[in-house]
Copies of this chain bind each other. A is one copy, B any other.
Amino acid sequence: MPSDRAPTRIQRKNRAAILEAALDVFSSHGFRGSTVDQIAKAAGLSKPNLLYYFPSKEAIFNELMAGLLDTWLDPLRALDPDGEPLEEILAYVQRKLQMSRDYPRESRLYANEIVQGAPRLHDVIAADLNVLVEEKAHLLQGWMDAGRINRAHPKHLLFSIWSLTQHYADFDAQVRTLMGDEDPFDAAPQYLETLYRRMLTPNI
């Protein structure tokens, strides 16, 4: 185990390499489907050497998840109560879509966990995420009550944004097969903007 002192150059490099490799492996095989050996090889280390930096497979996973969740919720946090409602929501949709394009592994890692019942995430969801969702659902409800966007169940609205955007990362294998040569991310931004604009623009 590395000492408690300030991390050495080697420690920083290897811990980063391990987390990067673990993201790759965990996101494409799930926790149970991944082996320490796989991660070690992907990080260019031997298995005992990897376990010199992290005490266990689970510890790697947890550190990865902790780091992920923070950045994962940033786009929603950025929903500005003082902005123009429709534009705020559309911008949020585009930020989420960007994340699916730029960080598909993170999205799949998260999806893997939730699909399997979130055994290692239940607490975090019940705590941090719940608070954030309540706050933003309330904000959306306020905009609807003020007639600035069309009415819709605010939580279902959030769910729909998550599912529509993350779909392009999580179901990438299916989407790409069905789209052939066309890059899904060419038309997706336009499609989602149209969808939410038509849905939320206040009726005259």
Q: What bracket does the count of chain A residues touching chain B fall in? A: 35 or more
When A164-B163, A164-B164, A188-B156 are in contact, do A177 and B28 touch as well, CB less than 8 Å? Answer: no
Least Cβ–Cβ distance between A116 and chain B, in angstroms: 6
The answer to whether B199 touches A122, judged by C-beta atoms less than 8 angstroms apart, is: no
Number of this chain's copies in the complex:
2
What CA separation (Å) do A31 and B29 show in the bound complex?
Answer: 10
Top 9 A-B pairs, shortest CB-CB distance: A32-B33, A163-B167, A156-B191, A118-B173, A163-B163, A153-B187, A198-B199, A117-B173, A125-B177
Binding site for B on A (CB under 8 A): 28-33, 108, 111-112, 114-118, 122, 125-126, 129-130, 133, 150, 152-153, 155-157, 159-160, 162-164, 166-168, 170-171, 173-175, 177-179, 184, 187-188, 190-191, 194-195, 198-199
